[in-house]
Amino acid sequence: MSYERKIINDPVFGFINIPKGLLYDLVCHPLLQRLTRIRQLGLSSVVYPGAQHTRFQHSLGAFYLMTEAIQHLTAKGNFIFDSEAEAVKAAILMHDIGHGPFSHVLEDTIVRGVSHEDISLLLMERINREMNGQLTLAIQIFKDEYPKRFLHQLVSGQLDMDRLDYLRRDSFYTGVTEGNIGSARIIKMLDVKDDHLVVEEKGIYSIENFLMARRLMYWQVYLHKASVAYERMLIAALLRAKELAAKGEDLFASPALRFFLYNDVDRTRFYDDPACLENFIRLDDNDIWTALKVWSDHPDKVLSTLSTGMVDRRLFKVEISTEPATEERKQELTAQIAAALDVTPAEAAWFVSVPRIEKNMYNPADDSIDILYKDGTTKNIADASDMLNIQLLSKKVKKYYLCYLRLHR
């Protein structure tokens, strides 16, 4: 057995060892390297300029934490074959491989009804064919079809390595220190009981801190009102471009982006037409930004105003409320924008957006976090914690956003 390996220096975790063989081949694969051109936090750098890290860096970090988790679980007497350890590390390396640029934006605009998880699975199966079935076990774990269910929880669950890395990494790069969770301590506290991941009793405070940090990161970073507004502008720009494309307007776009602008791609088409996946894997953040820069000079006032706003950081104004905006308020704003830009009310409607966001930070129905006591009994964190906040975290928070074009500089 060869002990050759590659070492990568990561600013969050230090040196990450990638063993030569299957895992190193995956890290070097063009589909994983594509993630170096896709930012982890999409448009969050509009608020936090340091948030320039990529999905590739995140995948490496999650891989590092998975290596640590397997080591600690094995040391506690949980039997994990070398083949299973390699497979679960491969699964976490590839878990985000299906993300497109500004992932959730594209899921609502140029591709409909296909999630990044669906695309990740298609790409895993594609690499598996190239690698003569070496990833079959990794795919079974990813799909939760492998008998040792706790391995899937490490890839996708309440305490998976994906979350443990992105909270720590996003906190590091945004400078939002409250999100900095004790990932090392949480991993040391993990164990397995009845094929389910559990946390030792002395890790309870680390879990409380993790859940609170997650809540804070969601509302302060991922769903920050300026990021939401910026995202709505991008969605509007892409949908307007698609509308113009459908009318036969010739728009500048890279070949991959052009494919999605000039074709209507829903779930059925995505799975039936191989050209969809081929073009999707050629897309990254650069395609979108280059198009927006060129569209800033487009004669269509809607497309050029939205694109210029994206490129020059002229954000929509945002109001947040517990109630949806009234129809009168939306019409009043639309009328003001139409007059200011000298466009029709229908065109002005592109500059008013009313997203609604619901989020709870802990849903025991998804996959409960269980605390393991010394006597071997387990208790759900919501019952085990003496913090009232855990109960509050299970409540759905609903916020209504009203985003609209600023009319004065």
* Residue-range definition of the domain harbouring residue 300: 225-263+282-357
Q: Would 370 be classed as within a structural domain?
A: no
Q: Would 108 be classed as within a structural domain?
A: yes
Q: Residue 232 maps to which CATH number?
A: 1.20.1250.30
Q: Same structural domain for residues 118 and 86?
A: yes
User: Which pLDDT score, from 0 to 100, does residue 259 have?
Assistant: 98
Q: Same structural domain for residues 201 and 186?
A: yes
* Residue the block writes with tokens 């896709």: 38
Q: Tell me the three state secondary structure of residue 77.
A: coil
Q: Same structural domain for residues 119 and 58?
A: yes
Q: Would 376 be classed as within a structural domain?
A: no
pLDDT band (50, 70, 90) for residue 360: low
Q: Tell me the three state secondary structure of residue 82.
A: helix
Interatomic CA distance for residues 405 and 350, integer angstroms? 9
Mean pLDDT of 74-78: 97
User: Which pLDDT score, from 0 to 100, does residue 240 have?
Assistant: 98
Q: Same structural domain for residues 213 and 326?
A: no
pLDDT band (50, 70, 90) for residue 1: very low
User: Which pLDDT score, from 0 to 100, does residue 48 have?
Assistant: 97
Assess contact for 287 and 254: CB atoms under 8 A. Answer: yes
Q: Same structural domain for residues 303 and 343?
A: yes
Q: Same structural domain for residues 198 and 84?
A: yes
Q: Residue 45 maps to which CATH number?
A: 1.10.3210.10
Residue 214 exposure: Cα atoms within 13 Å on the Cβ side = 24
**Among 223, 227, 225, which residue's Cα sits nearest to residue 214?**
223
Which one of 200, 223, 246 terminates a domain?
223
State how beta strands 370-372 and 196-200 pair: parallel
Interatomic CA distance for residues 401 and 325, integer angstroms? 8
Q: Tell me the three state secondary structure of residue 301.
A: helix
User: Which pLDDT score, from 0 to 100, does residue 384 have?
Assistant: 83
**In total, how many domains does the chain have?**
2
116-173 per-position pLDDT tens digit: 999 999 999 999 999 999 999 999 999 999 999 999 999 999 999 999 999 999 999 9
- One-letter amino acid at 371 equals I
Which one of 317, 332, 357 terminates a domain?
357
Report the first-to-last Cα separation within the chain, whole angstroms. Answer: 65
- One-letter amino acid at 387 equals M
Dihedral sign of CA atoms 220, 64, 142, 100 in order: positive
Q: Same structural domain for residues 219 and 235?
A: no
* Residue the block writes with tokens 């390297």: 33
CA angle 363, 61, 195 (to 5 degrees): 45
Mean pLDDT of 56-73: 98
pLDDT band (50, 70, 90) for residue 342: very high
Q: Would 273 be classed as within a structural domain?
A: no
Which own/partner contact pairs does 30-35 have at CB distance under 8 Å and 24+ positions apart? 31/97, 31/123, 31/126, 31/127, 31/281, 32/56, 32/59, 32/93, 32/94, 32/97, 34/281, 34/284, 35/59, 35/96, 35/97, 35/99
Q: What is the DSSP letter of 326?
A: P
pLDDT band (50, 70, 90) for residue 2: very low
pLDDT band (50, 70, 90) for residue 382: confident
* Residue the block writes with tokens 């999100």: 179
Interatomic CA distance for residues 339 and 328, integer angstroms? 17
Interatomic CA distance for residues 286 and 253, integer angstroms? 11
Q: Tell me the three state secondary structure of residue 356.
A: strand
**Among 331, 270, 337, which residue's Cα sits nearest to residue 306?**
337
User: Which pLDDT score, from 0 to 100, does residue 88 have?
Assistant: 98
User: Per-residue pLDDT for 8 more than 70?
Assistant: yes
Mean pLDDT of the chain: 93
Interatomic CA distance for residues 209 and 207, integer angstroms? 5
Which residues contact residue 271 at a Cβ distance below 8 angstroms, ignoring those fewer than 6 apart?
Answer: none
Assess contact for 270 and 277: CB atoms under 8 A. Answer: yes
pLDDT band (50, 70, 90) for residue 367: low
User: Which pLDDT score, from 0 to 100, does residue 180 have?
Assistant: 86
**Among 240, 234, 239, which residue's Cα sits nearest to residue 313?**
234
- One-letter amino acid at 409 equals R
Q: Would 386 be classed as within a structural domain?
A: no
Which one of 332, 357, 382 terminates a domain?
357
193-251 per-position pLDDT tens digit: 999 999 999 999 899 889 889 888 988 999 899 999 999 999 999 999 999 999 999 99
30-50 per-position pLDDT tens digit: 999 999 999 999 999 999 999
User: Per-residue pLDDT for 96 more than 60?
Assistant: yes
Interatomic CA distance for residues 327 and 344, integer angstroms? 18
Interatomic CA distance for residues 127 and 91, integer angstroms? 12
Interatomic CA distance for residues 165 and 89, integer angstroms? 14
Partners of 379 in the beta sheet?
A: 371
